[in-house]
Structure 1
Amino acid sequence: MTGDFCSVFVEVVRSSGQWRYLEPEALMGKWEQFVADCERGYPYDREDYFNDRTFRGSIEDVLNAPVLQDFSEMVVFRTRVEIIDARFRPLLIPDVFPKFGEEEWWLRGLVRYARRKLVSEVWESFGVEIAEVE
């Protein structure tokens, strides 16, 4: 793959299965917004929560893509991911979904608190209790 950082980035993200938010700022923005929503108490339903976590999987594909490693922009991108991840990790009850590999920590864990909709759906679907916030 050849081209500038953004075009190569888009191809990597597209190959990960993501069909929207392909550019670096867009993908990072979605991950950051998801984490911010979780910090306040995730306000949407279970389907949205599990869908929004997929942004981090696409980010992981980017972080591990050999074709992107020589771009200087990756240093900034990686640093921003680390900062956002550091905000998200403490929000999780670890290992709720142990079938995911340990390297997919964002999929293994579940937020500790959320709004009523997600709280009730998580309890009904998985029997896992998380705190409700208003």
Structure 2
Amino acid sequence: MKIKTEMDRVSRMNFEEVFLRCYANVLGGDERLGEADPEADVQSWLEFVEECESGYSDSLSEYDFDLYVRDRLQKAIDSQALHLTSDYDDFRRMVESIDGRFREIASTPISADDGESPNWWHKIIPHKGGEEFVNDVRDRLGLIIRRVD
């Protein structure tokens, strides 16, 4: 029920034009995710977390790539310009709600040696995954997580 509720909340997000313009200005166009769209970015983060809840099935490299949407959301959250908009608090609360779900499933700490990101979501992985993810985590990080089919 929690998943449906958050998906409903995301699909009902209706940001004012000033928030949308500011979000686009802060993030601009992006090779990885395309045009800046807060609804699409929040939806992508939610879908990623849902995949992790059921068992992330792709490679560790793809997992790292998929985390990029959360980096993008953080850039928006940190933006002083967006802080001034009336939609900012709702946007931040939605991201934080999804973050809470991610923290529940991604409870296995890893050492992030990339030196690029100090953000917490780069320092944990889900405690379960599909065969490819489980094997990659074992081979590249030396960690054992539960395999799901």
Please indicate, yes or no, whether the TM-score normalized by the shorter chain is above 0.5: yes
Is 1:73 the equivalent of 2:92?
Answer: no
Cα deviation digits, residues 19-60 of structure 1 (max 9, x gap): 425201011011000000000001222222110111111111
Other-structure match for 2:104: 90
Q: Could you tell me which runs of 5 or more consecutive residues in structure 1 were left unpaired when the two chains were aligned.
A: none
8 Å Cα contact 1:21/1:27 also seen in 2:
no
Deviation at 1:96, TM superposition (A): 0.7
- Does the C-alpha gap of structure 1 residues 14 and 120 become closer, same or farther in structure 2, counting only changes over 3 Å? same
Other-structure match for 1:130: 145
SS at match of 1:4: helix
Within a 5 Å distance, the mapping from 1:4-83 to structure 2 comes to: 4-14=18-28, 19-20=33-34, 22-83=36-97
The CA distance in 1 between the partners of 2:100 and 2:106, in whole Å, is 11
The CA distance in 1 between the partners of 2:69 and 2:26, in whole Å, is 13
The CA distance in 2 between the partners of 1:98 and 1:19, in whole Å, is 23
Cα deviation digits, residues 40-82 of structure 1 (max 9, x gap): 0012222221101111111111101001111111111011011
* Aligned-partner residue type, residue 122 of structure 2: L
* Aligned-partner residue type, residue 107 of structure 1: H
Q: Could you tell me which runs of 5 or more consecutive residues in structure 2 were left unpaired when the two chains were aligned.
A: 1-16
Aligned residues: 132
8 Å Cα contact 2:106/2:126 also seen in 1:
yes
Other-structure match for 1:108: 123
8 Å Cα contact 2:56/2:128 also seen in 1:
yes
Please tell me the root mean square deviation across aligned C-alpha atoms, in Å: 2.2
With normalisation by structure 1, the TM-score equals: 0.87
Deviation at 1:4, TM superposition (A): 1.8
